[in-house]
Amino acid sequence: MTAKRERLKLGILASGRGTNLQAILNAIDAGSLAADARLVITNKPGALAADRAIDAGVPHQLLNHRDYENRLAFDAALVRALRAVGAEWVVLAGFMRLLTPVFIDAFAGRTINIHPSLLPAFPGVNAQKQAVDYGVRLTGCTVHFVDKGTDTGPIIAQRAIEVRQADDPDSLAARLLPVENDLLVDVLRWIAAGRVGLHDRRVTISAESPE
């Protein structure tokens, strides 16, 4: 699969503060990302990401996962909501839920996630704490396609930062966050430009076309 050049129709899922969501909305507003945010879905009442969407005039919907019988029912509701607004690509921007095949198959090859480590190192939750506890000297962030594993999907791009001697998980997370923001928006720009291909789990990034 190779994405054609298009204005991306985005659905964005978030669970918390929404800093990566804000980076996407800022890039769209500045005209540096050819995308439309069709819908922001949060799964936790009171998530700051909802306020960010509302402030930007982007449609928002709260789908509390606790209101559903099981993960499959919740994921089916996510799919219905995204399809209703014509979303074609989905961004997990700090979405703290594991997705089931109900969702993954509905947006196969069109769902991306930002994770705060250099995958395959430190998947899952508390990646910055894992990095500090393990004593690594480099960590970073990864944007990858979402598959049916936990942070195991094909990697699109990564960026690294130094882990300092004085770092704790909070200080490391704070320094990594702007790097995450920039990388996620850059990858979305590549997708919008038709530069990202996915073939049998192998990701290719084509050269930027001259203007």
Q: Hey, how many other C-beta atoms are within 10 angstroms of the C-beta on 110? A: 19
For 8, the token pair is: 């991306």
65 an active-site residue? no
- Calpha distance 22→74 (Å, rounded): 25
Indicate which residue of 60, 115, 144, 199 is catalytic.
115
Fill in the amino acid letter for 20: N
Distance CA(86)–CA(50), nearest Å, equals 20
d(CA 93, CA 49): 9
Catalytic residues: 115
